[in-house]
Amino acid sequence: MSDPAVSEARTGDLEDRALRGVLSLAVREGGMKLVSFLGSIALFRLLTPADFGVIVPIATFAGLVKQFADLGLQPSLIQRGSEPQTRDLRAVFTGQLLLVLTGGVVVFFAGPFVVDALLNDQIDPWMTRVFAFSVFFTAFRIVPAALLERHLQFGRLAAADIAGTLFYYSAGIGFAIGAAGVWSLVIAHVGASLVSTLAVVMARPWLPVPTRKLRVLAPHVGFGARFQGSRLAITVKDSLIPLFTPRAFGATATGYLNWANRVSAQPLALTQWVARVSLPTFARIQDAPEQVRRGAELTLKWNAIVTLPGFAAVIAFGPEIASLIYGEQWLPAVPALLILAVNNALIPINGLITPILNAVGKTKTVLIVSIGWAAAAWGLAGILTGLGAGFLAVPIGLAASQGLAALVLLPIARREFNLRLLHHLVRPLAAAIGAGLFGRFILLPMLTDAVLLIQGGIVVVLVYVGMLYVIDRSALRSELGALWRRRSPAV
């Protein structure tokens, strides 16, 4: 039997490494979020809604092909208990290489016809074909990225993301200024993917040697296929905007919804960082239900605490964000922005419960929920479109299905690892609603330009912090004190 003291020490070390992983992502990518925010403003001002409405289905189609060409082999390397051997790594690389070669061929030859059908218009076929290169090169990323994630070396992954982000905005803005139109976004997307892949390969050098011994893949395919199936179902659900909207409402409406979704998702940075750390972290403690419960509750609570004030500001100042920051051409998308803010506010719950369930081996459960979730989103959007809701049918379908998924996932998490979350969220939610009402009805008349609007958003966040401290000071002191005692420099 293992020594409880040793087990506790290992758990403490794992918690420290997970915390350092999140802090590393926050420190290294936090500044890039500001760059992304400013860069997206520039792109949305330089290009038209129709330009974005063309690139969104192209990029999404290529992304879906990538998902189909991925059996979840990377997460299978991360989730398994024992360290993968060289033969495992080579088999995973070879299997992935064969899949992405097939996917690249599909994008190159079939992609232009699919995109033309989605847009109900003909565009330059090479806009789609160049995405085949980004599909192919993902094979060389999978093993180095899996090894970095498995050992919680998220600082190096963050550096790769930063390199890709810098290329995306520098190339996109540069070509947009040069009047390249949609091509500026094509170059930005494909180039950023290639740069990020190259950075990951350099961060964790590994010789990509193919092998004929593909039988080694058998233990990876079971977990990986279920994991990838659930991720693919979520991707299909999220593809309502780029796949359903162009055909139903046109490129301009697609551009509006793409803008609304991107702006409303700005507060989710912490959720994305924590979700990346959750699978390898919780996989290591999957046999300790009490530790899983404690970690899940604190993770979900603090994600809500950090993200809710951002959503409060977006909802309070939606029309002003469109007109004063991005330009009046985006005002027709404001109703969608408000609906999608509600949708994205639920992501810290659903988007973190699912990787935790995957980490503890409940991939089949996640797969079933994900398929139902995607079906509900598309079904609701189709019904609402038939009832005449216009392009708002899409954000309403996304938000409603997100709420339904939460109602399903919370009881499952309660059953599997006794997650008790709702009482942790009541106070942060009350503080966020109070801060949002303060911003809308007290501050708004004073916010007459973009600078004042940004300052008003900061005030809303400060009001939220003050209200939350008043109503939840005891728990906050205890949890922040424990975090301070476990502090460790970011890697």
Residues 54-88: pLDDT tens digits?
Answer: 999 999 999 888 877 666 666 666 666 567 778 87
**412 contacts: CB under 8 Å, gap ≥ 6:** 353, 357, 362, 365, 369
Q: What pLDDT does residue 57 have?
A: 93
CB 461 within 8 A of CB 313: yes
Residues 407-438: pLDDT tens digits?
Answer: 999 999 888 878 877 777 889 999 999 999 99
CB 480 within 8 A of CB 472: no
Q: What is the largest distance, in Å, between two alpha-carbon atoms of the chain? A: 69
- Three-class DSSP labels, the chain: CCCHHHHHHHHHHHHHHHHHHHHHHHHHHHHHHHHHHHHHHHHHHHCCHHHHHHHHHHHHHHHHHHHHCCCCHHHHHHHCCCCCCHHHHHHHHHHHHHHHHHHHHHHHHHHHHHHHHHHCCCCCCHHHHCHHHHHHHHHHCHHHHHHHHHCCCHHHHHHHHHHHHHHHHHHHHHHHHCCCCHHHHHHHHHHHHHHHHHHHHHHCCCCCCCCCCHHHHHHHHHHHHHHHHHHHHHHHHHCHHHHHHHHHHCHHHHHHHHHHHHHHCHHHHHHHHHHHHHHHHHHHCCCCHHHHHHHHHHHHHHHHHHHHHHHHHHHHCHHHHHHHHHCHHHHHHHHHHHHHHHHHHCHHHHHHHHHHHHHCCCHHHHHHHHHHHHHHHHHHHHHHHHCCCHHHHHHHHHHHHHHHHHHHHHHHHHHHHCCCCHHHHHHHHHHHHHHHHHHHHHHHHHCCCHHHHHHHHHHHHHHHHHHHHHHHHHHHHHHHHHHHHCCCCCC
Name the stretches of the chain with pLDDT < 50.
1-11, 488-491
Cα–Cα separations (whole angstroms), residue 319 to 301, 314, 337: 29, 9, 9
Q: What pLDDT does residue 5 have?
A: 43
The b/e string for 392-402 (b: 16+ C-beta within 10 A; e otherwise) is: bbbbbbbbbbb
Measured CA to CA, the distance from residue 23 to residue 486 in angstroms comes to 12
Residue at 417: amino acid letter: F
Cα–Cα separations (whole angstroms), residue 146 to 91, 204, 226: 14, 10, 18
Q: What pLDDT does residue 58 have?
A: 94
Helix 289-316 / helix 269-284 crossing angle, nearest 10 deg: 170
User: pTM score, two decimals?
Assistant: 0.79
Q: What pLDDT does residue 85 have?
A: 78
Measured CA to CA, the distance from residue 247 to residue 196 in angstroms comes to 32
Q: What pLDDT does residue 394 have?
A: 97
Closest CA to 340 of 388, 297, 381: 381
CA angle 300–304–310, rounded 5-degree value = 150
What residue spans define the domains of the chain? 20-225, 239-491
CB 163 within 8 A of CB 196: yes
Counting beta carbons within 10 angstroms of the beta carbon of residue 376, is it exposed (0 to 12), middle (13 to 18) or buried (19 or more)? buried
